[in-house]
Structure formats: structure tokens, C-alpha cells
Structure 1
Amino acid sequence: MTLVVVTGAGGFVGAHLVHALKTRQPSVRVRGVDVRAPEYGPSGADEFVLADLREPEQCAAAVAGADQVFALAANMGGIGWTHAAPAEILRDNLLISVNTVEACRKAAVGTVVYASSACVYPNSLQRRPDSAPLRESPVFPADPDMEYGWEKLTTEILCDTFRRTHAMDIKVARLHAIYGPLGAYSGLRAKSLSMLCGKVAAVPGGSGEIEVWGDGTQTRSYCYVDDCVTGLLRLARSTVDRPVNIGSEERISIAELVGRISAVAGKEIVPRYRPDKPVGPLGRVSDNTLCRQLLGWQPSTPLDFGLRRTYRWIEEQVTAVRTGEEAHR
């Protein structure tokens, strides 16, 4: 039986990937690996291994016997986290990535899929809200987004070197702003869309004010997690040997996003903008030309559809927490 290992299986994308593997490929055995158990319910993997992949021995044991490895494990979070813990992020992720690639080499893993990020792209290409969509080729001269982006770019180089030197089948997916249910929606680790959903859901009654970082003009493209998982699975089965974007081409400003979330919630929300807070790139949108060419596919879930599903899930979590707190008092 084919053994597929998903590192970072306790996290957001990893949890969805495990579910998709068991649903779409029931004949495979799935081993989930993470330093912590999934936050929102059981993993669904055939086995779940608690392991610290910063330790080479634990990493080697985690991928032992694997035919395929999806390397998603990382110390990551939203812009609040990348600004709060840059040294921790860089250290942890370098250790995790180097250990994982080397362990897969020693274990003769058939296929490795590494989850990189749009953060590898130069800041110079993302300085305006209407900046051109990001294609895969222009990553040098290197100027990635903070330490998180530097680690992702370094590991891409590592993957390419191991592919050429050791004839490893390593594929690289550059993920763009993945969102959906089961993701963090509060605290420093929450990403922008989920964070905004959480803030709106927490507003009592039908109207209120929320804090929004930046001035609202910065733009993004958000990729629904089901599309992301499908892209990772397609990439794993392909012969692609270069980085490929997995993201949406649907551009939206943060101000527009607040409006759409408010409409889904049925609330009158007044954004209180904070230009003094970190905002990241002013314009980041995926160009899916290469994805269409190489995989014959591209993410296609409309933002409004994914947003409704995501907000409803987050609203349920916020309500449950509030009810629990009230019951406790």
C-alpha cells in the first residue's frame, strides 16, 4: 500500500490535505506528522505522529517508508506573527526544511512536494495596489517578503539542487493567501481574510467597528483551500520540475474585502484603518499562466463562494467561544 506522509498535518492546509487524500485516494495510507495535534477535531489520517522536525532523528522517523511526502510543516502565521518572531521563524523553518529534504533523500522517497509561498517574490514587484500579477520567473535579484520569504526561497534553491544532484523528484508549489475553514481567525497567527472574518463575527448585534491594518487600498488574491489541495495533488502526479503558482487571479482590495465580509455577515461594519500597522506588499496577485500550461488546471473557486463558507465556519467558532465564556461566568 502506498504510504503518503503529510508534514504539518496539524495545521490548516495540512488538515485539509489529509482529508482529501483519504477521500479521493482511499487506497493510500496516510501518515500525518506535526509538532501538535490538529486544533479542530481528529486528523483523519491512518496514523498521526507527534514529531519535532527541527530534530533530524525525528524527521527521519517521520518520513521512513514513505512513497510520497507533502512537506507543509512550518512555523508560520499572519503578518502580525512574521513581524513578531522573525528570528524564530527563520531558524525553525530552515531546520525543518533542510531536515525534511535530507531525510527524504536518505529514505529514497519517490516524490516530494514542497509548499513554498508567494512571499519569495521581490518586494519591488509589489509596491502598488495595481502591481502586475506575479509570474514564476522573476525572483532574482532576490528581495523576498521578510525572513519567512527568505527561508522559502532558500529552500526552493535547496530543492532544485537536490533534484539536480541526487535525481530526486521534488516539486515546488508557491501558495498564494490560502483561506477556508479550520484556519486561525484570531491572534498573531491568523491571516488577513480569516482575521477580518473573526473580527466581524465578534461584533455584537448588527453593527459596529473593527480595526483594519493599513489604509484599505492594498490588494490580494485569495485562494480557497479546496483549490489549493487539488493543486498540490495534481502537482504531485505531474512531471513538473519547476516552481508553480497555486493561487487565485481574482484581485480585491482590503477595503472591498471588509465590505464583502460585512455583506455575508449581514452587519453594518465601519472599518477603523490603521496605516501605522504592518501591511506587507501593496499588491500581490497570482499569475496562473504556468499553472494552466503545466497542470492543465487552475484554482477556480469564486471568492464570494469561499468567503461564505469560511465566514459561516468562523462565526460558529466565535459563537461557541462566546457561549462557553458566558456559561462559565
Structure 2
Amino acid sequence: MKKSVLITGAAGFLGSHLCDQFITKGYRVVAMDNLITGDLKNLEHLFPNPDFEFYHHDITKYIHVPGTLDYILHFASPASPIDYLKIPIQTLKVGAMGTHNCLGLAKDKKARILVASTSEVYGDPLVHPQPETYWGNVNPIGPRGVYDEAKRYMESITMAYHTFHKVDTRIVRIFNTYGPRMRLNDGRALPAFIGQALRGEDITVFGEGTQTRSFCYVSDLVEGIYRLLLSDYTGPVNIGNPNEVSLRSFAEEVLALTGNKVKIVNRPLPVDDPKQRQPDITLAKKLLDWAPVVSRKEGLEKTYNYFRSLPEAEWHRQPKEFLSSK
């Protein structure tokens, strides 16, 4: 029988690429999403596949999946500032209650579970680059705290289930990732820059643009996650591209790619915005024999071509309006 995997947050950017990966690898995929930030368009190509099924469900409620499960990948969560600042309560709930429910399901099904943490657990880091041994510099009551602390709690309860209930767990700390199926209006640097260029708007860089990020193409990230899931390591592992770039330089790269003649303009830096972000991937190289292979130039071209191929109405679509954060 084929092995089965449940992927939460499956209609999102990363979740949908993970669904593709596991279908390609010959798994039966159970996808779950409440569609608060996800989009079924990301999965519609999989609906005819007999090894794929989709559940429209909020994982902060009790999760029921019939039959056996070999693996669970918990990727449900708003991941962009424009989302989690608008729906802070849901963000905290999916990190806490949603993770609790997924871990309970893993315990019941005797499934291995991998949870998606983030480089944001390091906050505005005082150590550079960031190794897994660094505990972070996070403001728990700042505006970004709803996301940062939700992920830090996720890691804590995952390790508690591992040590107390002997659940087979994995933790991936994901650094900035990009590629097709991102939303142009999700507030993150790359889609924001490309969206502004496509619309002929000036490109907005916050602060002086000296803050750094390290961008990993989605296919590299998915391969790293897949290898981590099948490994024997239960501690957190950084998966990201260590090729660091300032946001000012990154905006200039996007401009050069698009051939647009708009200006780069500066706006005030958001509260608690990290000044540096670069993964130390020594552990991933050693444990998983993994390192990114897609250059930023190649990844940017693929991503730009994807966005440019969308209907022009998509370039102008406004961010989602959410219901109250009950």
C-alpha cells in the first residue's frame, strides 16, 4: 500500500508545493486547509488525481482523518506580516491549538509529524548567521510577537509531545522562501517588489534598505523538508539559502530583471523588523546532505515569469479582508 501523508495549510504557497512533491514521490496525499489565506487554485491541478483528497477544515477544531497516516506535515499558519497583523488571534490559535490537535492526531495514528517553524523564532538576532543553538531575541508583546511566539510555542509543545508521549517529531526552521504561487499582495519583499514593478509603481524599501535577507527558491526548500522528514533527527534544523543580500540590492536586482524605470523609495522601518537574516545550514549539510542549488538569478527569473503570466487583474488585486479574530 502507498504511504499516506496529511499536509495542513495545503492550499498555501509552501503547502501546495509539498503536495506536488509527495504526489510525485508516490504517496497518498490528504490536504487540509480552511482557505483563510490559501487558494484552491494552487491545488486544482491535483483534484483529478485518485491519490489526492482535500478537506476544507480549520485545524484549531478537532481533526478527524479516516484510515492510516504515516506522516503529518503541519504547515497551516498565516506567514506574511500583512496577514498575521490583521488576524493576530487566528495566528496564535493555529500555532497553539492547531499544533496541539496535529500532535494529538500524530499520537493517535502513530504517525511521524514535521512542524513548520520559522527563522522568526530568532527575532532580531544578536548572533549572525543564525545557528539552531541560538535562542533568539524576540519581543513577545510587539506586533510581530503573535507570529514569532506562536512558532516558538509550536516548537515547545512539539518537543514536549516527543519527550513525554514519544511522538516521532521533526522541526524545520524555514528562512525566506520564494517562487511561483506566492501572492503578489502578501506583504513580503519579493512579491511586493515584483508587484509594484508590474504595476509601474515605485518600489518601496523600508528603512535604508540595509537590512538583509537570504532567499531560498521553493524547490530547494521542499527538497530539504522532504529529506528532514525522512531523517532520524528530532531537533530543529535550519532550511534556507545562506546567500545574504540587502533589501536595497535585492530591489535593484528586481528592477534590472523587469527592465522597469520606476524609482526605489524609502519608507519608515516597521516595528521589530529584523536587521539581519542568514541561516547557518551546517547542520542541514551534515545531517541531510542538503544545500540549495537554485541561484537567486535563476529563481528570480522563474518567479517573475510566473507573476507576469498571471492575468493583469491579479497584479492589482487587493489583500484579503478577514473576519474578526475571535
Code of the aligned partner of 2:117: S
Mapped pair 1:171 → 2:170: yes
Decide which moves more: 91-100 or 14-23.
Answer: 91-100
Q: State the distance in 1 between where 2:137 and 2:198 align.
A: 42
**Contact 2:132–2:236 (CA under 8 A) maintained in structure 1:** yes
The SS at the match of 1:268 is coil
Q: State the distance in 2 between where 1:201 and 1:122 align.
A: 31
**Aligned position for 2:87:** 85
Q: State the distance in 1 between where 2:96 and 2:178 align.
A: 24
Cα deviations by residue, 1:105-157 (Å, 9 ceiling, x for unpaired): 12221x111111001114342xxxxx611100011676575221111111111
**Once superposed, what is the RMSD of the aligned Cα atoms?**
2.2
Show the 5 A alignment for 1:290-329.
Answer: 290-317=283-310, 319=312, 321=314
**Aligned position for 2:108:** 106
**Aligned position for 2:188:** 191
* Deviation for aligned residue 1:34: 0.9
The structure carrying a bigger helix percent of its residues is: 1
Cα deviations by residue, 1:168-205 (Å, 9 ceiling, x for unpaired): 1100000001111001111xx342211211111111xx
- Residues 276 and 124 (structure 1), Cα distance of their counterparts in 2 relative to 1, 3 Å cut: closer
Mapped pair 1:158 → 2:157: yes
Q: State the distance in 2 between where 1:217 and 1:141 align.
A: 19
**Aligned position for 2:224:** 231
Code of the aligned partner of 1:66: L
**Contact 1:213–1:278 (CA under 8 A) maintained in structure 2:** no
The SS at the match of 1:215 is coil
Decide which moves more: 172-181 or 191-200.
Answer: 191-200
Q: State the distance in 1 between where 2:136 and 2:256 align.
A: 41
Aligned pairs, how many? Answer: 306
**Contact 2:174–2:240 (CA under 8 A) maintained in structure 1:** yes
Code of the aligned partner of 2:70: D
Code of the aligned partner of 1:295: L
**Contact 1:118–1:175 (CA under 8 A) maintained in structure 2:** yes
- Residues 176 and 241 (structure 1), Cα distance of their counterparts in 2 relative to 1, 3 Å cut: same
**Contact 2:173–2:239 (CA under 8 A) maintained in structure 1:** yes
**Contact 1:82–1:146 (CA under 8 A) maintained in structure 2:** no
**Contact 2:124–2:276 (CA under 8 A) maintained in structure 1:** no
**Contact 1:223–1:299 (CA under 8 A) maintained in structure 2:** yes
Q: State the distance in 2 between where 1:93 and 1:140 align.
A: 18
* Deviation for aligned residue 1:68: 0.7
* Deviation for aligned residue 1:64: 5.1
**Aligned position for 1:71:** 74
**Aligned position for 2:266:** 273
Q: State the distance in 1 between where 2:137 and 2:202 align.
A: 42
**Contact 1:183–1:190 (CA under 8 A) maintained in structure 2:** no
Which of residues 244, 254, 262 in structure 2 aligns to 1:261? 254
- Residues 3 and 293 (structure 1), Cα distance of their counterparts in 2 relative to 1, 3 Å cut: same
Q: State the distance in 2 between where 1:99 and 1:176 align.
A: 25
**Aligned position for 1:200:** 197
The SS at the match of 2:11 is coil
Q: State the distance in 2 between where 1:228 and 1:276 align.
A: 28
* Deviation for aligned residue 1:238: 0.6
Unaligned residue ranges in structure 1 (runs of 5+): 126-130, 325-329
The SS at the match of 1:182 is coil
**Aligned position for 2:9:** 8
Code of the aligned partner of 1:50: H
Unaligned residue ranges in structure 2 (runs of 5+): 318-326
Code of the aligned partner of 1:11: G
The SS at the match of 2:54 is strand
Decide which moves more: 296-305 or 239-248.
Answer: 296-305
The SS at the match of 1:272 is strand
**Aligned position for 1:50:** 56
The SS at the match of 2:133 is coil
TM-score (norm 1): 0.86
**Contact 1:15–1:38 (CA under 8 A) maintained in structure 2:** no
Which of residues 251, 257, 274 in structure 1 aligns to 2:244? 251
TM-score (norm 2): 0.87
- % identity of equivalent residues: 27
**Contact 2:194–2:254 (CA under 8 A) maintained in structure 1:** yes
- Residues 79 and 240 (structure 1), Cα distance of their counterparts in 2 relative to 1, 3 Å cut: same
**Contact 1:213–1:279 (CA under 8 A) maintained in structure 2:** no
**Contact 2:130–2:278 (CA under 8 A) maintained in structure 1:** yes
- Residues 233 and 9 (structure 1), Cα distance of their counterparts in 2 relative to 1, 3 Å cut: same
Deviant stretches of 4+, over 6 Å: none
* Deviation for aligned residue 1:323: 10
